Amino acid sequence: MTPAPSRLRDLPAVVAGIAATVLGAGLGELAAALVAPAASPFAVIGGAMIDLAPAWAKDLAIDLFGTGDKAALLVGIAVLLLVVAGVAGALENRRPPWGRVVLAGLGALGAVVSMTRADAGLLSPVPSLIAGAGAAVVGALLIARLRRPPRRSVADGAPSDEGVTRRGVLALSGVAVMAGALAAFGSVALSGGARAISAVRSALRLPSPATTTTVPDAADLGIDGLSPVITPSADFYRIDTALVVPQVDPATWTLRVHGLVEQEVVLRWDDLVALPQKETVATLVCVSNEVGGSLIGTARWLGVPIRDILARAKPTDEADMVLSRSVDGFTASSPLEALTDDRDALLAIGMNGEPLPLEHGFPVRMVVPGLYGYVSATKWVSELEVTRFDRAEGYWTPRGWSERGPVKLQSRIDVPRAGAQVAAGDAVIAGVAWHNHVGVAGVEVQIDDGPWQPATLASAISADTWVQWSLPWDATTGSHTVRCRAISADGSTQTSDTAPPAPDGATGWDETTVSVA
């Protein structure tokens, strides 16, 4: 019988390495669900990759996958893990015990990384250690069967021991994969913490606001395809660094205000909800939002003005920044003046008439109009450290982003969509414009290379929200290029200079091509 090519001889070992790793990963996720939900091996490694990613990598991920960037990262980690597992299987087959050393080493790496996370506990290394040990042991056992010398030779066409062994190992590998999948599904079923916090949120009743913001009827132009004035919570963009949504019980939540203050303040949930609540409407924008992008939304927010909390602590004269911290370790550096001036910067507990969704920061998050989210919109907030920009940095500043992030004047075309086909005759061009905490005074539209035409603005809710705009259009047959630019309440006109999101927000005019038939 002709010996199998070297690569084919390694194939069962590669499959065995992958199967062992799938089983180990499933066991690790199951262990995390039982003893340390925040220390899921995938979440730990993924979180570390997010922390180490440079600004350009973050931008690329959001450009390619939008709000699905976390799912894409997890898929990427899984693919990379399977490749390493396959290589480890071949290595174990050729040079034992180095394959199992690689698999055990992956678990040890995960355990070490888990201890560096802000929410690390004594049991945080356990899931990764179980994953690595499980993969190493199962991989070694499967591949050891492959390495057994055949006890008889091939005769009269009968299958060799080697062939029988390979089929047996492949079958056992399939069993290992199924066991790993069942363990992973079991981890989801046992995630009682998430279900418990969801139940707490569902039973929670928000206090009535002492003051509210009215949304004028004329704020919505009622044009099909135009972004609604108030973004439904389910459609609100989500960009953050949390692969696993933190599960924070309001009963145990606290907020500590400290640093350059005369009096340290600690608030509990009952303390916060007992204070006068303010309901406001504000637009939030992600700094990664490209020109014409969708990483922006407007919601009704309920909460306590941050300036009232800071007034209790009495910041000293030397302070100029507040470093907010999330329970998962994320930090944002907000200018102190943006939290203490007349804008409605809130410690928000409600969104669109309901408690904050878990993924949007339940039970408490920050909402600061006029600043990009990376320097202000801390979710699951647990700490406000009053400090200085020359003494501390937020999460994204050392990664290449500017330390202060005022939202830039921008506008976007919603109708007609890019590439849309429009019937000749009466049509409409419409969109939204924003210059948070400054306001929008007008929007102009250019069709092809014609003159700029003033659009009609809807009634603005406030300077802290976007505003809808529209322009009637007598559409003629052919292909047309449509552009828009906004005029700020301070008299400035949106720049045509194009710039990427990094380091402090994208600039340029939104442009779309429309076919008219």
Confidence band (pLDDT; 50, 70, 90) for 158? low
**What letter does residue 436 receive in the DSSP assignment?**
T
Rounded mean pLDDT, 88-94 = 93
Provide the token pair at 479.
């292909």
At 146, phi and psi to the nearest 5? -70, -30
Q: Does the domain spanning 410-516 belong to CATH 3.40.50.720?
A: no
Residue 356 has pLDDT above 50, yes or no: yes
Rounded mean pLDDT, 350-379 = 97
Task: Give the list of residues 6+ apart from residue 390 with CB closer than 8 angstroms, or none.
Answer: none
Residue 2 has pLDDT above 60, yes or no: no
What pLDDT, on a 0 to 100 scale, did the predictor assign at position 242?
87
Task: Please report, for the chain, the start and end positions of each structural domain, with discontinuous segments joined by +.
Answer: 6-190, 217-399, 410-516
What pLDDT, on a 0 to 100 scale, did the predictor assign at position 152?
56
Residue 167 has pLDDT above 90, yes or no: no
Between 445 and 68, whose confidence is greater? 445
Rounded mean pLDDT, 109-130 = 87
Provide the token pair at 156.
């009269």
Confidence band (pLDDT; 50, 70, 90) for 60? confident
Please compute Rg for the chain using Cα positions. Answer: 28
Topology of the domain comprising 217-399: Sulfite Oxidase; Chain A, domain 2 (3.90.420)
What pLDDT, on a 0 to 100 scale, did the predictor assign at position 166?
81
Alpha carbon separation from 102 to 91, 113, 136, 174, 432 (Å, rounded)? 9, 16, 8, 21, 53
Least confident of 95-109, 111-125, 307-321: 111-125
% of the chain surpassing 70 pLDDT: 94
What pLDDT, on a 0 to 100 scale, did the predictor assign at position 72?
81
With 0.85 as the threshold, say if the pTM is over it: no
